Amino acid sequence: MKKNELDQLIICKKCHTLHRKIELHHGTKARCSLCDTVLYRDHKNLIDTTLALSLVSLISLVVAFSFSILTININGIYQSLDMISIFVTIFEHKEYLVGVMLAFLIFLFPVSIFISIVIILTLMKLKKSGYLVKRLLILIAKLLPWSMVDIFFISILVAMVKLFDFAQLELGIGFGAFSVILILNLFILKRINLSDVWEEYDSIYGENDCRDNGTALSQYS
């Protein structure tokens, strides 16, 4: 079977049933004939939508790290919680490994992902630098499993529940920013797969530009 014929096939991620791709109408999606899992979608304005969401996510991440997440009031004693104070406390207790891992998992990796997405989609809109776009797509596929912003935010929510009984909590701007990041991440991951971006890459730069990388990396989406 030729490469361009293989590109017309898709495997269900849930039951591994093989399907042949069909052309979809705008806004529709293809489902597995066996388990009804969504196989792929026809995204209207994929690049513009993803670019806008990624820019908002990047700005929200910067805001989340720049402002207070919440303020704790225990018997008139106030303690503000922000990301800088968290890192300072961790390093003051000489938990250097934890601090470095936290910095990478909830800041450096997410920022790298969002910046890469913005660069990728901007270049795709301009139809420039196909090789750079391809390398950044590969980088994103490797970094995505290591972005833990959502896990960190959930841990904050769990801690807040435990504090409700004996402390007054005031939510800060950083908390709202983390909420926005969580919602946008869920939307992007649910609605948009890397395989969809690779398909868009093929349509812009042509199938002769190392399509094998895109096919192999679709498993990360």
Does 69 share its domain with 85?
Answer: yes
Does 121 share its domain with 148?
Answer: yes
Question: Could you give the number of structural domains in the chain?
Answer: 2
Does 18 share its domain with 54?
Answer: no
103: nearest Cα among 114, 92, 88, 118? 88
Could you give the angle at which helices 46-66 and 83-92 cross, rounded to 10 degrees? 60
Does 34 share its domain with 103?
Answer: no
pLDDT tens digit string along 2-50? 456 666 788 888 888 888 888 777 767 888 888 988 777 776 677 888 8
pTM: 0.75
Does 63 share its domain with 20?
Answer: no
| Residues in contact with 193: Cβ distance below 8 Å, sequence separation at least 6, in sequence order | 40, 218, 221
pLDDT tens digit string along 86-133? 888 899 998 999 999 998 998 899 889 889 989 998 998 888 888 899
pLDDT tens digit string along 134-193? 999 999 889 888 888 888 888 888 888 888 888 888 889 999 998 998 888 877 766 667
DSSP sequence for 15-61: T--EEE-----TT-EEE-TTT--EEEE--TTHHHHHHHHHHHHHHHH
Q: Are 40 and 21 in contact (CB under 8 A)?
A: yes
Structural domain including 31 reads 1-42
